[in-house]
Amino acid sequence: YVLRDCTDSKVREAVYCAWQRGAPSAVQSLEGLLEDRLALARTVGFESFAHMTLDDKMARTPDHVDEFLRGLAMQAQPRWDAVAQGLACDPRAIRPWDRDFYVGRQQAKMGALPQLAEYFSIGRVVMGLSRVFSHLYGVTLRATMPQPGEIWHADVRKLEAIDEHGHLLGVVYCDVFARSSKAHVGAAHFTARCARRVDDDVGHVTCDSTVVERDGMRFQLPVVVLICNFPPPAPNAPPLLSWANVETIFHEMGHAMHSMLGQNGFHNVAGTRCPVDFVELPSVLMEHFARSPHVLSLFASHYKTNEPLPLGLLRQRADRRRRFAALDLHAQLFMSALDQRYHSAQLDVRPDWSTRVLAQVHSDPMFECNVAQSMFAHVEGTRWQSRFTHLVGYGASYYSYLLDRVLAGRIWDRVFKGDDPSTQLSNNPLSREAGERFRKELLRWGGGRDPWTCLAAVLDNGESPHHEIEAISKGNKSAMHIVGTWQLPDM
């Protein structure tokens, strides 16, 4: 990797500029897409594509998104200043093509990261997830044999979600190992059948294997599919997961549990069918559980010796992760702001206009680094926007990644009061009371309730001032400002 390992700054510069140059045809295609989106929005009566997209989201307006991003940036600037200060003797000399080199040099001094996969066989990880869900919601995961023809590949595993009364709550098909015939989608959760109510349908089915009864009402039995691309197991060894893959499966199981518990009257708002800037909250929250020493003690042990995972190894990895997290946060803030600008009403559609907007966002005081401004500067002749592929699928909503990380962090701290491997906190987050609060006030609603109402109700447990809860429940610009002052997201 040249930008990380090459000691010649001139070579790094040449590689960086070539990599970021961007094909004119790609830039033209992107600009055409953005211009057509603006035209579409205006045709249906909106000021911009961002206004149209956000109309039914948590954020509601572009102005609210800007308020949130600037609040986070104000908190984060001292952190990326501190990172830059520690990278080089003269941080003012660091250019964008130098950043990975100096970070890599710092990481090399700290030594290799500990490998944790031998403590995470996939069977034990699923067992750990089952124990977490049992503690929080009274739900367990049970492996079961599929019927002939029920699965599409021999690697697929079928899990049943069972409630504390022994009733079937839903089905999860897990297709987690990479193979040549499989689409490389990374990791994803798909709803094959949602948990909508059916007993009030015209001509509803009263008895069927796809229908379950809950609280005197009948619902479709939810069926979801989890797709991952984990490395296949080595011969004569159980499937072992890297730490990143442990976090991934906890994340995706957060979506699955949302689908299991999000039962309501209509298919279009059941389970994970809720605003895109709200849907990742339950899954990101599960990443916090994955990093909890209390949770890890339930299942993380060496597949050969059964020795528990040493907490020091986990703490070492967590400390390394946080050391340069401010740079990742800067990148996420920048992409979120650029996404908003590209989908705003102010498009000066002269040739190569998207590159001028890119340079303008680079120079926004929101992204200043007081000790090394050149490290984040726009480089003349580059068109990084042609590589920003998320603009296609997440147009005007890329900020959602940051918003849900902040919200999940707040719930983790104020509701579950969770522990953390990088601190001395020892609180046990596996509280049934907290789990039931989260289930009752957020998960069970799917998309059938205003997310701000859900958020305020979850947080209204005496740990936050009443005036803040009241402000949050309104979901206006003031609410987004408050959220922007909460603890910075764990990247």
Query: In angstroms, how far is CA 203 from the centroid of its own chain?
Result: 40
Q: How many Å from the N-terminal Cα to the C-terminal Cα in the chain?
A: 23
> Is residue 61 within 8 Å of 54, Cβ to Cβ?
yes
The pair of structure tokens assigned to 381 is: 């002749």
Say how far apart CA 8 and CA 115 lie, in whole Å: 31
| β-bridge pairing 168-177 and 223-230 | parallel
> Is residue 53 within 8 Å of 396, Cβ to Cβ?
yes
Concerning whether 252 is annotated as a catalytic residue, the answer is: yes
Which residues neighbour 467 within 8 Å (Cβ) at sequence distance 6 or greater? none
Instruction: Judge residue 265's burial from the number of C-beta atoms within 10 Å of its C-beta, 0-12 exposed, 13-18 middle, 19 or more buried.
Output: middle
Residue 212's closest CA among 148, 161, 272, 266?
A: 161
> Is residue 11 within 8 Å of 2, Cβ to Cβ?
yes
CA gyration radius, the chain: 24
Say how far apart CA 412 and CA 137 lie, in whole Å: 16
Query: Which sign, positive or negative, has the C-alpha torsion 99, 104, 109, 114?
Result: positive
Say how far apart CA 249 and CA 227 lie, in whole Å: 9
Beta-bridge mates of residue 172 = 159, 224
Which residues neighbour 43 within 8 Å (Cβ) at sequence distance 6 or greater? none
In 215-355, DSSP assigns E strands to 217-220, 223-230
Q: Which of 67, 252, 280, 441 is catalytic?
A: 252
Residue-wise burial string across 345-367, b where 16 or more C-beta atoms lie within 10 A, e elsewhere: eebeeeeebbbebbeebbeeebb
Question: What residues are annotated to the active site?
Answer: 252
